[in-house]
Amino acid sequence: MCEKKIPKSVIERLPTYLHYLKSDMFKNNEMVSSVKLAKIVGYGEVLVRKDLAMVSGTGKPKIGYNKNELVMKIMEALDCVKMKNAIIVGGSHFDSALLLDESFSEYNIFIKAKFEINYNGSFNRTNVFPLSDLKEYCKKEDISIGIITVGEKDAQAICDLLVSLNIKAIWNFSPVKLKVPENVKVKEENMAASLAALAANI
């Protein structure tokens, strides 16, 4: 296998390149230059060139890159050609925001359902279920991503549950550093900490 390892920093920029390449900004362009792309995304042009070289490497001097080829290559690198499904295990205000947000479909990711610890059956909300249904749901559907928005005290237990259900990537909105096996990816998305860091030294 020639699984060329793409650095995390690059992987994190690829979605942005993809977004702009598919946007109206380039709708009339068959070819795209790294210089122009760099200006739009706000990175240095050398950085952009190296990022693109890493996934594609088919640019031509004076011309740039073929846009459609680039889009395809980035999608392959992000492994978002095929659809992926996610579920939320929830208990915070962010749940419904995530559940309703459609911008994830841009990357072929679909948040299919939400499971609540304290399920309140009296509301008839679509795609919201009690936690007890989670196991069966994950067996039936093809769920590879879990989103945790429960409170601090439950987060690790839910995480363990998701791992046991064979979920390979966890997006964690609780302010807890989760412990997972090596083969599971976790992204901590501590909103309060993010804002606090932003607000430091202003």
Partner DNA sequence: AATAAATAGATATAATTATATCGATAAGGT
Partner DNA sequence: ACCTTATCGATATAATTATATCTATTTATT
Binding region for a second copy (CB under 8 A): 8, 11-12, 14-16, 18-19, 40-42, 77-80, 84, 86, 92-94, 96-98, 100-101, 103-104, 106-107, 109, 144-145, 168-169, 171, 175, 177, 179, 185, 187, 189-202
CA atoms within 13 A on the CB side of 158: 28
Type of residue at 149? T
- C-beta of 56: minimal distance to DNA in Å? 7
Q: Which listed option, a second copy, DNA, none, makes contact with residue 83 (CB within 5 to 8 Å by class)?
A: none
132, 153 Cβ separation under 8 angstroms: no
Site for DNA in 6-65 (CB under 7 A): 7-10, 33-36, 43-47, 49-50, 52-53, 57-65
Between CA 14 and CA 55 the distance in angstroms is 9
Q: Which listed option, DNA, a second copy, none, makes contact with residue 101 (CB within 5 to 8 Å by class)?
A: a second copy
53, 66 Cβ separation under 8 angstroms: no
Q: Which is nearer to DNA, 55 or 99 (CB)?
A: 55
Between CA 45 and CA 111 the distance in angstroms is 34
